[in-house]
Structure 1
Amino acid sequence: MADTQHITAAGNEISASFVAAKKQSDITEAKLNADPGKFTMLTGDRPTGRLHLGHYFGSIRERVNMQNKGVHTNIVIADYQVITDRDTTEHIGDNVLNMVLDYMAAGIDPAKTMMFTHSAVPAENQLMLPFLSLVTEAELHRNPTVKSEMEASGHALTGLLLTYPVHQACDILFCKANVVPIGKDNLPHVEITRTIARRFNERYAKKNPVFPEPAAILSDAPEIPGLDGRKMSKSYGNSIMLGATAEETAKLIKKSPTDSERRITFDPINRPQVSALLTTAGLVTDRDPAEIAAEIGDAGAGALKQYVIKSVNEFLAPHRERRAELAKDMDSIRDVIHDGNKRANAVAEQTLAEVRDAMGMKY
């Protein structure tokens, strides 16, 4: 009984914490919408493979919206973070180039948004040293992402994985981002970044704070299921890639599992695979999945798959067209990365100079 009470109390605490975070997120978002030019945002992805529909609806669409509102937007291509849980960097160059292609095809404008890679910005990574002195080992071990990634990878806990949240704090704080759009699972990362910023300012820069304490903007995007009902993930092979051809997409959807019941209904708990297809169709058509299910009815899984294929391919057609046009000049894509890295280096070196000055380390 005591254990049950403890679990219930912990659950209530997490729920209350999320409600408070959502309330603060709504306040921040209202301020951002009123005066977007006052806000700097950072977000990013690991180049572990191609971007898929989950990435688009989960984050890329919102990045484009923020950019177009006039927020100072920054995207880190977190190449160093690939090796937190992988033993190879094979294909990483290809993944980075394709990531930039998809960003730009989706509407990210390199004239407005700084896109850069971790490995090309030494001053940003150098912030790790002072930042590591501001957190304890226990605080790092408590981070849910560190725990889950360690369990999922099956690796021994590497130093890079343990310090992953601090590296993310470097990403956010080097450009003095004051908003970070995230899903609820990433709230602990923003919290540790806020802690690092606050501790640095209290310890070294009381009169002239160097870092803002960034606020989280919680995404309203639903979790996008993969074609097999599990979370959409590159590693599960259940993802519809943004850069896939119409034929590849059709083949993948046709192969997706359903169940033996002919009538199509939207029931994510009892019929996860059928419901995953309906959710995908609903997202790309901006329709209610239950309405689509009722429309298909007794026509069965074959009709559902044909509807999903048609809907997804129509939705992705403009993206594919823009992507193909951009891919004709890969040197220009490399130039975008080089320019973003150059801009990021200038920002990082300025921030590092301020950090050294605050710490009395300018000789």
Structure 2
Amino acid sequence: MNHTVLTGDRPTGPLHLGHYFGTLANRVRLQDIHQMFVLVADYQVIIDRDLPGRIQANIDDLLLDYLAVGIDPGKVTIFQHSAIPELNQLLLPFLSLVSVAELQRNPTVKDEIAHSSQSAVSGLMFTYPVHQAADILFCKGTLVPVGKDQLPHVEVTRLVARRFNERYGPVFPVPEAMMGDAPLLHGLDGGKMSKSRGNAITLKASEDETAALIRGARTDADRHITYDPESRPEVANLLTLAGLCLGRAPEEIAEEIGYGGAARLKGMLTEAVNEFLRPIRKRRSEVDLAEARQVLREGNARARERAVRTLEEVRQAMGF
């Protein structure tokens, strides 16, 4: 079955290995099978911060990373929120379909509010899942690749689609969530891998920067390297990352290192990561930024055409 896939990222910094193994590699695979829209979610940067930061530089970073990993603009529509007013206008009728209590119960919103840098919860943060419903439904998305933490947002989208269709007539498909099977990668400090925490290896990092980050990675005092995610999570995380880059089982790598200790593990991981990223970094350096920005302009034009058609369907169904 052919699907319309909606996926994307907030432009809050360069993408890292967690993004690659979590979503980017899957997008490259799916682009040959399904119609795909990749969203640069620039409006959603301000859901949990007062200012968007170096927004244009971060958008450029996203574009270069997308093209470097193999996302093909001939197969994929890459677009940004702020260029598609008709998409954002869908938020208004969609908000009328959900209750305040339903938004308050959303566990992902609760978690995002708890970790927000803002002193007060903004209306945009509160209605974030409904904005995501507009992202998915403007293009009649039927498949949404997500991690477990994003499942509640897809459920809001499914709820919005069903209620709109029941109230106004069949306009939207009810999308499905697609759960990834990539192992969860933690940051090099053992915490959540994040652009803002400085604990991730970015796709654009140099080989020396990568080596320095891995040298500072957290391990433990046991010299005998074993793969034990429960009792040795930091060591297991480094073994998992090495396994992903080498295409090998982490248990096998641990056995090979044996009593070589953390130094040998970090040395092997540094070599594996740099070898894995070398062709991606090379392609990234060869991408012309002006051409990447043109890719976004062309994607914005295609996405806006789709959004205009969808908004007109919505207006007609609602009787405007």
User: TM-score when scaled to structure 2?
Assistant: 0.97
Say how many residue pairs are matched: 319
Q: Distance between the aligned counterparts of 2:248 and 2:194, measured in 1? A: 23
Q: Distance between the aligned counterparts of 1:39 and 1:277, measured in 2? A: 35
**What amino acid is aligned across from residue 87 of structure 1 in structure 2?**
D
Does 2:298 align with 1:298?
A: no
If you compute each CA radius of gyration, which structure gives the higher value, 1 or 2?
1
Q: Distance between the aligned counterparts of 2:185 and 2:146, measured in 1? A: 15
Counterpart contact for 2:49–2:117, Cα < 8 Å:
no
Task: Pick the aligned partner of 1:224 from 185, 204, 207.
Answer: 185
Counterpart contact for 1:120–1:341, Cα < 8 Å:
yes
Does 2:86 align with 1:123?
A: yes
C-alpha offsets along residues 146-188 of structure 1, whole Å, 9 cap, x if unaligned? 1001001153211000000000000000000111111222111
Where structure 1 has 5 or more consecutive residues not aligned to the other structure, the ranges are 1-34
Greater shift, 96-105 or 181-190, is seen at 181-190
Q: Distance between the aligned counterparts of 1:228 and 1:268, measured in 2? A: 15
Q: Distance between the aligned counterparts of 1:68 and 1:277, measured in 2? A: 31
Greater shift, 184-193 or 125-134, is seen at 184-193
Counterpart contact for 2:226–2:255, Cα < 8 Å:
yes
Written as runs of structure 1 = structure 2, the 5 A alignment for 1:176-187 is: 176-187=140-151
Displacement of 1:231: 2.2
Q: Distance between the aligned counterparts of 1:144 and 1:46, measured in 2? A: 20
Aligned to 1:338: 297
Q: Distance between the aligned counterparts of 1:301 and 1:202, measured in 2? A: 59
Aligned to 2:37: 74
**What amino acid is aligned across from residue 201 of structure 1 in structure 2?**
N
Task: Pick the aligned partner of 1:92 from 55, 70, 73.
Answer: 55
Where structure 2 has 5 or more consecutive residues not aligned to the other structure, the ranges are none
Written as runs of structure 1 = structure 2, the 5 A alignment for 1:1-363 is: 35=1, 38-69=2-33, 71-155=34-118, 156-205=120-169, 209-326=170-287, 329-361=288-320
Secondary structure of 2:196's counterpart equals helix
- Amino-acid identity (%): 58
The structure with the greater share of residues assigned to helix is: 1
Q: Distance between the aligned counterparts of 1:257 and 1:204, measured in 2? A: 55
Displacement of 1:346: 0.7
Secondary structure of 1:68's counterpart equals coil
C-alpha offsets along residues 113-170 of structure 1, whole Å, 9 cap, x if unaligned? 0011101100000000000000000111111111001001153211000000000000
Counterpart contact for 1:225–1:279, Cα < 8 Å:
no
Q: Distance between the aligned counterparts of 2:30 and 2:53, measured in 1? A: 33
Secondary structure of 1:48's counterpart equals coil
Q: Distance between the aligned counterparts of 2:146 and 2:313, measured in 1? A: 28
Q: Distance between the aligned counterparts of 1:307 and 1:229, measured in 2? A: 19
Secondary structure of 2:182's counterpart equals coil
